[in-house]
Structure 1
Amino acid sequence: MNFISRYVLCVGFVLAISAFVTTSGLAQGHGHGGGGGNGRGASGGMGGPPSGVGVDRGLGNASERSSGRSDSGLGTASDRSNGRSNSGLERARISSQNLKRADDDLRDHPGIAKTLHTNANSLRAGYQTALAANPQLTFGNYVAATRLGQNLHSRFPNITRDSILAGLASGRSIGRTLQDLGLSDRQAKEAKKAVEQEIKDAKKMD
């Protein structure tokens, strides 16, 4: 074998070894790269929170807080509504009882309406109207207020049936109301006593 042939063989051998080394290195590089990628992917999947957990928890807490306020608000509104309803029913019950007693008085004592220069139907209607403003008003006080207004208005213009009824509705007595309307303590007592006697006499009429 001459020199040229040996030279060609050596060069070919070197090239073959270089190609083998390069191919092996590339293969190892791809292997490590894939493993690293898989490792990061697995790590990322395991380390992060499960899908939707954070959002669901936030919505759940917000819903619970909102529901608490909503339930409380509805409960309070219901309590208030029931309170108003119960109060209205109680006022209606008291008013109905007082009106029934008035019917009994008018039936048993027709002289009351005559003393007030009216008839039983008109007296009852006026009392029923007054009960709408003050369910606690008794028929006796309504009759007294009516008669006091008739007796005193000409001398004391401030004194009317309605002004006396307003005083009773505010919680004052007939005597106190008459004084507030301009009478002295003695005048109020005398006027009240005179009307009480008139009503007593009226109940004796047939």
Structure 2
Amino acid sequence: MAANKPKGQNNLALHKVITVGSTGVGKAALTLQFMYDEFVEDYELIKEGTYRKRVVLVGEEVQIGVLETAGQEDYAAIRDNYFRSREGFLCVFSIAEMESFAATADFREQILRVKEDENVPFLLVGNKSDLEDKRPVSVKEAKNRADQWTVNYVETSAKTRANVDKVFFYLMREIRAKKMEDSKEKNGKKKRKSSAKRIRERCCIL
């Protein structure tokens, strides 16, 4: 069940995140561990919803909204809408399942197609690091893929809580930086447009 939105959050900056990846890689477990400090091994989400939480990011109180999709991202049209509405992506695979690692390439391609932005905030996450003795996906292989995409790679364990906060806070910082960059570009365009308008106004036809 999605977390209720506490009073007073309307004025806080909201950073919108989604976890993507194959079924069974632990996306919901990561979210619940981050939100409530709980590990739920067998979790079945019936209806999609957004979990929200207040956090302090770079000295500023903000809120993070993590979208859980209840498996509906399997439907292309719905998946595109989910991707379009989010600002940052945790692309999750299980280090104990090669197929889930292979699937990250498809998720990456779909996200870039929908967002039309190569610099979208994105983090490759190898979950279930507690299954180190069962891993077919090496750290080197995962890092090589992250390097190819020019993104970072982090391994997590929803079970032991290893690096759980790290990946969500990293992604929020990336989203925050992207928003600041986009805002500067937007303001710069406005200033250039305003300057051009003033120049035209000073001109007269002789």
When normalised by structure 1's length, the TM-score is 0.21
Highest RCO, 1 vs 2 (Cα 8 Å, sep ≥ 6):
2
Larger Rg: 1
Query: When you count strand as a share of all residues, which structure comes out higher?
Result: 2
